[in-house]
Amino acid sequence: MDLGMREWCHAIPKIELHAHLNGSIRDSTLLELAKGLGEKGVIVFEDVKHVIMKNGRSLPECFQLFDLYHILTTDHETVTRITKEVVEDFAAENVVYLELRTTPKKNEAKGMTKRSYMKAVIDGLRSVDTVDVAFINSSRENCLESAVSSSTHGKIERKRIFIRLLLSIDRRETTEAAMETIDLAREMKDFGVVGIDLSGNPVIGQWETFLPALKHAKDLGLPITIHCGEVPNRKEIQAMLDFFPQRMGHVCCLEDEEWRRLKSLKIPVEICLTSNVRTERVPSVEFHHFVDLYKAQHPLVLCTDDPGLFSTSLSNEYYLVAVTFGLNKGDMLQLARKAIEHVFADNGVKQYLTEIFEDAQRRLGLQNMHHIP
């Protein structure tokens, strides 16, 4: 198959490990929701229209937009709708495994609790009808059966996407609220919740506030990923490294000593190129720390962060890496496949994903590519 690099980056199977639900809303849906609330007099549509349409937002503007998202998506029905659409959009990008993260929210006016918010998310996963969605922990046997049926038995091919959920703690939350999220994650382990994320405006909140909840999650055996180093805060970055989470997002503002520690600890990094450039964490893709970590063979995975907010897609993030750093098709497929090692799902899912990649390698014509160690 003779595909150009952009088509190649779209065609290869991909694994998304850092995507926020509300940051992944389609622009068209956002405009529609804003218009609807404008008509009801909840917001002034003209005031928010330009924010929705704006390109190249700064970090404070992104958090302004997040506040808008949270006004627009405060009822169960909308949460269900955006979840469905987000999953369909990732599947259309040939994402075969998506770890979708979201902050469970309370909204008394709408009778919403953190639990009912998550139920609305699950309803969204259940309502996807354009692709097969696997989100409850599945046995290896089921995985293998589906891998075979979609690839070799000549049946009508239907896309399949594995979904796992991460519950986010927002840095605005209290220790008590964060604890509630951990308990909910434990309760929802059988509904595809595989871990915890710490996110939110990086200049708000203290590490000490979240630490008890994160320790509680660790004690429960829940894997953790942390937004780290979005702003230069040495004390916090060092405390996060000391905590030794399973993965870290961003890691932009580290000093030499912290880079050394990150590398020696081999903490896998969720790389979000467009997000970091748009929010001015790095001057350009060319100067992104991806290249240093990649050359050092540090574990990493390309992610979108907020494809809606930053007008990107996972295919586009792969393409940016390929053209900026001169990587070839085989390199890109290997990079995508390496992400299997960092998913929070069980070994049955990892085995299934390995087979998906081997099948893709055959289908896309890279039979002689050497095996990833």
Give least dist CB 256 to ligand IMP, A.
24
Give least dist CB 100 to ligand IMP, A.
8
Burial of 366 (0-12, 13-18, 19+ CB in 10 A): middle
Taking alpha carbons only, the member of 280, 182, 198, 184 closest to residue 239 is: 198
Is 289 in a helix, a strand, or coil?
coil
Which residue, chain included where needed, has tokens 């203290």?
206
Q: Residue 247 binds which entry of ligand IMP, Zn ion, none, with Cβ cut-offs from 5 to 8 Å by kind?
A: none
Taking alpha carbons only, the member of 299, 225, 288 closest to residue 264 is: 299
Specify the stretch interacting with Zn ion by CB under 5 A; choose among 57-65, 254-262, 304-312, 348-356.
304-312
Give least dist CB 19 to ligand IMP, A.
9
Q: Which is nearer to ligand IMP, 20 or 342 (CB)?
A: 20
CB 17 within 8 A of CB 247: yes
CA angle 327, 331, 332 (to 5 degrees): 85
Q: Which is nearer to ligand IMP, 344 or 357 (CB)?
A: 344
The active-site residue out of 85, 180, 230, 317 is 230
Q: Which is nearer to Zn ion, 85 or 305 (CB)?
A: 305
The yes or no reply on residue 236 touching Zn ion (CB under 5 A) is no
Give least dist CB 270 to Zn ion, A.
8
Neighbours of 112 (CB within 10 A): 19
208 catalytic per annotation: no
Strand ranges inside 201-299, DSSP E? 224-228, 247-250, 269-271
Q: Give the CA dihedral 54, 59, 62, 63, nearest 10 degrees.
A: -150
Q: Residue 196 binds which entry of ligand IMP, Zn ion, none, with Cβ cut-offs from 5 to 8 Å by kind?
A: none
Task: Please name the residues in contact with 371: beta carbons below 8 A apart, sequence gap of 6 or more.
Answer: none
CB 351 within 8 A of CB 372: no
Q: Which is nearer to ligand IMP, 21 or 321 (CB)?
A: 21
Q: Which is nearer to ligand IMP, 22 or 78 (CB)?
A: 22
Taking alpha carbons only, the member of 168, 230, 232, 203 closest to residue 22 is: 168
Give least dist CB 203 to ligand IMP, A.
10
> What CA–CA distance (Å, rounded) separates 13 from 9?
9
Which residue, chain included where needed, has tokens 């949460």?
79
Q: Residue 14 binds which entry of Zn ion, ligand IMP, none, with Cβ cut-offs from 5 to 8 Å by kind?
A: none
> Among all residues, whose Cβ is closest to Zn ion?
305
Q: Residue 274 binds which entry of ligand IMP, Zn ion, none, with Cβ cut-offs from 5 to 8 Å by kind?
A: none
Burial of 117 (0-12, 13-18, 19+ CB in 10 A): buried
Q: Which is nearer to Zn ion, 172 or 260 (CB)?
A: 172
Give least dist CB 179 to ligand IMP, A.
18
The yes or no reply on residue 305 touching Zn ion (CB under 5 A) is yes
Q: Residue 21 binds which entry of Zn ion, ligand IMP, none, with Cβ cut-offs from 5 to 8 Å by kind?
A: ligand IMP
CB 20 within 8 A of CB 102: yes
Contact residues: ligand IMP, CB under 6 A: 20-23, 66, 102-103, 168, 170, 199-200, 227, 230, 275, 305-306
Residues lying near Zn ion in the complex (CB under 5 A) are found at: 305
Active-site annotation, residues: 230
